[in-house]
Structure 1
């Protein structure tokens, strides 16, 4: 496997869980709730839940947007603000979709009290899939950069490589 970078395989089982497993769990929970409180109250609760999700999405989304604008105006990297925006959109999508299980995860992603945990999970997810290499100005052995002996790096000159003095001559 010399000279090639090994790519991670996409976990296809995740799609199976997302499109088959979650709806089955949601239907089961809806039936159980409907048997306890009745079908009309269950439908009313789902509608109220979606309205609450829309309101939370609008409120927290506006807060995240303002925080993003402030970070950009201050000239700093808006990593936290972008992560909050991603979590709010994800949580809002889960809240608006019908079902009680997805609503629980949606509320956890939207609420400011529980969002730091979501940011940690999101950062861990992204850092496992992110490889930085060849960034100008970054030392070759900096955290996050590709190792010096990684495939494809052996021939590349870098800031720590040999420097050859010379003159540039332009021909007319």
Structure 2
């Protein structure tokens, strides 16, 4: 996963620059700059509206006592779309706009969920939770112990100063 992220961080800026130069040659400097600024403003507005819609649907579902239809991944994808739309560039704007389409976002979230579940089953993805030392308020309960790999142990280390 890290190698794909690194690859994207290296190649996407070059692709964006290539596209901007090509569009700039075809349209001119000012129209290209206007296009990038307009896409950022429109995208930020759409991301805000879509994010508020997701939150509103979550609240309605919770008020009716049923689980929200759109999960955490969908909300995270709206956040990612907003970030991509604010970044200058044509490629990131297109990906951000596509992620704001609810049908596309649901499909991407379903694929991400399936990938996470597969990774958790085969052990390549592990989920850990950290609590606040024994505090358990109303409605909170202690988490079940996590599964351990063979030979895995919990350990705490302290450093002792010489001469003690």
Task: Tell me how far apart the structure 1 counterparts of residues 91 and 38 of structure 2 sit (CA, whole Å).
Answer: 15
Please show how residues 23-38 of structure 1 align to structure 2 within 5 Å: 23-38=13-28
Q: In the alignment, is residue 14 of structure 1 matched against residue 25 of structure 2?
A: no
Cα shift at 1:38? 0.8
TM-score (norm 2): 0.68
**Which has more radius of gyration?**
1
Q: Look up the match of 1:106.
A: 96
2:73 counterpart SS class: helix
Task: Please identify, of 23-32 and 66-75, the stretch whose mean Cα deviation from structure 2 is larger.
Answer: 66-75
Native 8 Å contact 2:51 2:75 kept in 1: yes
Native 8 Å contact 1:67 1:81 kept in 2: no
Task: Tell me how far apart the structure 1 counterparts of residues 85 and 69 of structure 2 sit (CA, whole Å).
Answer: 24
Distance 1:57-1:40 versus aligned 2 partners, 3 A rule: same
Q: Look up the match of 1:75.
A: 65
Q: Look up the match of 1:92.
A: 82
Q: Look up the match of 2:37.
A: 47
Of 60, 72, 79, which residue of structure 1 is paired with 2:50?
A: 60
**What value does the CA root-mean-square deviation take over the aligned residues?**
2.6
TM-score (norm 1): 0.65
Native 8 Å contact 2:54 2:70 kept in 1: no
Cα shift at 1:112? 2.0
Select the structure that is richer in helix: 2
Task: Please identify, of 38-47 and 78-87, the stretch whose mean Cα deviation from structure 2 is larger.
Answer: 78-87
Cα shift at 1:127? 1.8
Task: Tell me how far apart the structure 2 counterparts of residues 97 and 125 of structure 1 sit (CA, whole Å).
Answer: 27
Aligned residues: 130
